[in-house]
Amino acid sequence: MIQVTELGYVGLGVKDLAEWKRFAAEIVGLEVADEGEAGRAYLRMDYWHHRILLDEDGADDLNVLGFRVAGAEDFHGMAEQLSDAGVAVEIAAPAKADDRRVLELMTLNDASGYPIEIFHGPQVQADQPFHPGRRMHSRFKTGAGGLGHLIQRQTVGFEKTYAFYKLLGLRGGIEYRVPIPGAPRPLELMFLHCNERDHTVAFGMPGEKRIDHLMLEVDDLDDVGLAYEVVRKAGVPVAIAPGRHANDHMYSFYFMNPSGWQIEIGWGARPASQQSEYYQRDTYGHERAAPPAPKPRAVQAAG
């Protein structure tokens, strides 16, 4: 069976590209690479040409996940593996692969109908070391674990969702059963991995957007502390306070991005576990911010 090796890139649709570029550089510390294309910017985290594509299309949501396979042989084998399982796969024209800065690209939809891309051969700019958009103590942690992880929406249930992602070579299962006061069933979250990272994609968080959050890992705890201070000083809303996750052991916090979903900055995760277990809550911390209180009428009227 052929397996994807990492989440190589994500494509985000945004309403305000200028604001996103500022946020990415000054708040998150990503490197903004502008190739002079209208309505498009690239965000770098390492030697890759980009890890995040920003398209000013108004979506304010996740457009596409880009999963990597090892090389040409696995690429064509994966297309066959998916077609044999009844998944409609299209090998993209060379111009589309060029647009993604990869050697070859295929496009398909996941079980919920959300766009996925599978590629091999990303452009790696060995001559252009990552240059953070603001000061950092150390660097983003990518490597064999890919760019990070995310929680995304599914609309067809865990079983069909898992059946699809298993075809790509991801494995995993339920890792949280969170009791919800007054609800007959706990909130279940499903986490899937394809490499040493505990999870690459996860499902189950309620929400209107395809994406709940994107986690970017740093290799120095001080970069979580610094990011927290930068976020607070800039008045960016913190969505989830610092804490440690029970499943991947990540020490992290979450804040809102200009598209109204969350970025998580984390450190200290353990490698993916090969045996299932579940948790009812995190190790400590991670309190959710209360929704903002409604403003008094007089203040509202004043603007």
Least separation in angstroms between CB 217 and Fe ion? 10
With contacts defined by CB under 5 A, name the span among 119-127, 179-187, 262-270, 282-290 that binds Fe ion.
262-270
With contacts defined by CB under 5 A, name the span among 49-57, 110-118, 158-166, 263-271 that binds Fe ion.
263-271
Q: Which residue number is nearest to Fe ion in terms of Cβ?
A: 215
- Size, binding site for Fe ion by CB under 5 A: 2
- Per CB under 5 A, contacts with Fe ion among 153-182 are none
Least separation in angstroms between CB 105 and Fe ion? 27
What does the alpha-carbon distance between residue 173 and residue 190 come to, in Å, rounded to a whole number? 5
With contacts defined by CB under 5 A, name the span among 21-29, 172-180, 236-244, 258-266 that binds Fe ion.
258-266
Least separation in angstroms between CB 128 and Fe ion? 28
Output 13 or 148, the one with its CB closest to Fe ion. Answer: 148
Output 60 or 264, the one with its CB closest to Fe ion. Answer: 264
Q: Which residue from 82, 264, 268, 269 is in contact with Fe ion, where contact means CB under 5 A?
A: 264
Output 21 or 149, the one with its CB closest to Fe ion. Answer: 149
Least separation in angstroms between CB 154 and Fe ion? 16
Output 211 or 215, the one with its CB closest to Fe ion. Answer: 215
Least separation in angstroms between CB 147 and Fe ion? 13
Output 61 or 264, the one with its CB closest to Fe ion. Answer: 264
Output 223 or 264, the one with its CB closest to Fe ion. Answer: 264
Return the exposure string of 34-64: e unless at least 16 CB atoms fall within 10 Å of the residue's CB, then b: eeeeeeebbbbbbebbbbbbbbbbebbbbbb
Least separation in angstroms between CB 89 and Fe ion? 29
3-state secondary structure the chain: CCCCCEEEEEEEECCCHHHHHHHHHHHHCCEEECCCCCCEEEEECCCECCCEEEECCCCCEEEEEEEECCCHHHHHHHHHHHHHCCCCCEECCHHHHHHCCEEEEEEEECCCCCEEEEEEEECECCCCCCCCCCCCCCCECCHHHCCCEEEECCCCCHHHHHHHHHHHCCEEEEEEEECCCCCCCCEEEEEEECCCECCCEEECCCCCCCEEEEEEEECCHHHHHHHHHHHHHHCCCEEEEEEECCCCCCEEEEEECCCCCEEEEEECCCECCCCCCCECCCCEECCECCCCCCCCHHHHHCC
Output 111 or 215, the one with its CB closest to Fe ion. Answer: 215
- Per CB under 5 A, contacts with Fe ion among 178-217 are 215
Least separation in angstroms between CB 75 and Fe ion? 29
Binding site for Fe ion (CB under 5 A): 215, 264
